[in-house]
């Protein structure tokens, strides 16, 4: 399977919308492919690999900027992977912070909802919790 791929093929192979692929090209994340006589983008397996990498990293929640850095590092095969490790650990710390924030939020919202006796709005505990009542 070393054939040429259209943008639609690439999209199906990586579960990426065609517009997203063109967007990645526009921001310089995915290299510019060759064109057919009819001006269609023509991709090969190397492009497929690149896009797969990008999508896997995105699915793990890395930002496009982090993906850009990871791609740059992935190409320097004999460098130490410290920098890669640092990006990944930084991202893990971000995720931990988000989970902690959401968990605190969940606790608060859940306690507010628990107090709602479901009468009229005038006596609604949820509205009361949001309205200023000092």
Partner DNA sequence: CTTGACCCTATAGTGACTACAGGGTGCATA
Partner DNA sequence: TATGCACCCTGTAGTCACTATAGGGTCAAG
Query: Cα dihedral angle (108, 112, 115, 121), rounded to 10 degrees?
Result: 180
Stretch that binds a copy of itself, among 4-12, 20-28, 31-39, 45-53 (CB under 8 A): 45-53
Of these partners, a copy of itself, DNA, none, which one is at the site of residue 44 (CB under 5 to 8 Å by kind)?
A: none
Measured CA angle at 7 (ends 4, 8), to 5 deg: 105
| Strand-pair category, 41-42 with 34-35 | antiparallel
Q: Taking the complex as a whole, how short is the minimal distance between the CB of residue 117 and DNA, in angstroms? A: 28
Structure tokens at 121: 């709005």
φ, ψ dihedrals at 17, nearest 5°: -70, 145
The stretch among 13-21, 81-89, 110-118, 121-129 that binds DNA (CB under 7 A) is: 13-21
Q: Is there binding between residue 120 and a copy of itself (CB under 8 A)?
A: yes
Q: What letter does residue 1 receive in the DSSP assignment?
A: -
Query: Of these, 17, 35, 60, 63, which contacts a copy of itself (CB under 8 A)?
Result: 60
Burial 59-74 (b: 16+ CB within 10 A, else e): eeebeeebbbbbeebe
Region 55-94 residues binding DNA, contact defined as CB under 7 A: 58, 63-65
In the complex, the residues that contact a copy of itself under the rule CB under 8 A are: 48-49, 52-53, 56-57, 60-61, 70, 73-74, 76-82, 84-85, 88-89, 91-92, 95-96, 98-99, 102-103, 105-106, 108-110, 112-113, 116, 118-124, 126-127, 129-132
């Amino acid at each position: 399977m070393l054939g040429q791929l259209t943008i639609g093929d690439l999209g199906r192979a990586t579960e990426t919308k065609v517009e997203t692929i063109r967007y990645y090209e526009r921001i310089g994340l995915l290299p510019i492919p060759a064109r057919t006589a009819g001006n269609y983008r023509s991709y090969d397996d190397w492009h497929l690999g690149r896009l797969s990498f990008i999508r896997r990293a995105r699915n793990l929640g890395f930002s496009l900027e982090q993906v850009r850095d990871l791609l740059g590092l992935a190409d320097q095969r004999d460098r130490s992977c410290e920098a890669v490790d640092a990006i990944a650990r930084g991202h893990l710390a971000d995720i931990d912070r988000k989970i902690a924030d959401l968990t605190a939020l969940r606790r608060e919202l859940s306690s507010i909802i628990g107090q709602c006796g479901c009468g009229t709005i005038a006596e609604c505990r949820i509205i009361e919790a949001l309205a200023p009542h000092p």
